[in-house]
Amino acid sequence: MVERKFQVIDKYEFNRIYHGIAISEQWQAWETAHFFRVKSIIENPTVGARLISYGCNNGDGSSLNCTKTCSNATLMYSSPENLWNCMTLATLGMLVGPGNDTIDRESEKKMDEKFHFGTVEKFNSLNVFRKVRDCAWASCSDSTYGSCTSSLQGFKCGPVSPNNIAKFGRVMAKPYCQAASAGIDLDIAGQGIVTAYVIQLVLVLFLGLCFKLTTSWIRTFSKGLCIPRDMPKVADNTV
């Protein structure tokens, strides 16, 4: 049994490099919040769970509200900071509510005054992990881009629980799309695009032909107007 605590941070430092190329902080923020948050909290029980000071923004500039933000998938995924806080609270809610861990109530109270989520047990009823499961499954189930790994398939219909949350954290922290490839973007090289090009070419040729026929007809008609008509001969006035 572990007593969980909170801590507030203003910014999380991202400094990952991929093959010598620095990854943008915005990308790393989304990646960390969505993929690594659960695993990090579970594997570091003595470290206070971090909440970002401006996360859980639901559009009300006067107050942060994690209950309102995390109960709505659109708001939850509107920023990496919102997702970060929702994932953090959902993880603690699962570990403390139906799980065996406890929570420092004084720390929880201070966080509730700022983020308005009630208690972690109450927050657990918002079903944050169901939204995350749906998002993860939707992102890998499209056959065009591969398929979901067998490790994630167990969470397609089965909920996250205290018994499998550690496994869920490990699954999310690893690639869960197998045999994924960029595929062919049908907006760039699909049959519809080829058909559109052919239609455009036919239209151009048709309009060009019409223009040539029209100009030829106008030229012929204009010449006809300029030809002098036969005039009656005038008798010579000779003396």
Q: Going residue by residue through the chain, which has 239 residues, state the pLDDT in tens, using 9 for 90 and above.
A: 899 999 999 988 777 777 788 888 888 999 999 999 999 999 999 999 999 999 999 988 789 999 999 999 999 999 999 999 999 999 999 999 888 899 999 999 999 999 999 999 999 999 999 999 998 888 887 656 567 888 888 888 889 999 999 999 999 998 877 655 555 555 555 566 777 778 888 888 888 788 777 777 666 666 665 655 555 555 555 44
Domain ranges, ordered by start, for the chain: 3-178, 186-225
Asked if residue 159 lies in contact with residue 130, where contact means CB atoms within 8 angstroms, the answer is yes
Give the Cα-Cα-Cα angle 92, 93, 96 (nearest 5 degrees): 75
Distance CA 192, CA 211 (A): 28
Cα diameter, the chain: 142
- Quickly list DSSP for 174-237: S--EES------HHHHSHHHHHHHHHHHHHHHHHHHHHHHHHHHHHHHHHHHHSPPPPPPPPP-
**Residues in the chain, how many?**
239
Distance CA 64, CA 79 (A): 13
pLDDT digits (tens, 9 = 90+) for 80-116: 999 999 999 999 999 998 888 999 999 999 999 999 9
Nearest to 75 by CA among 86, 88, 63: 86
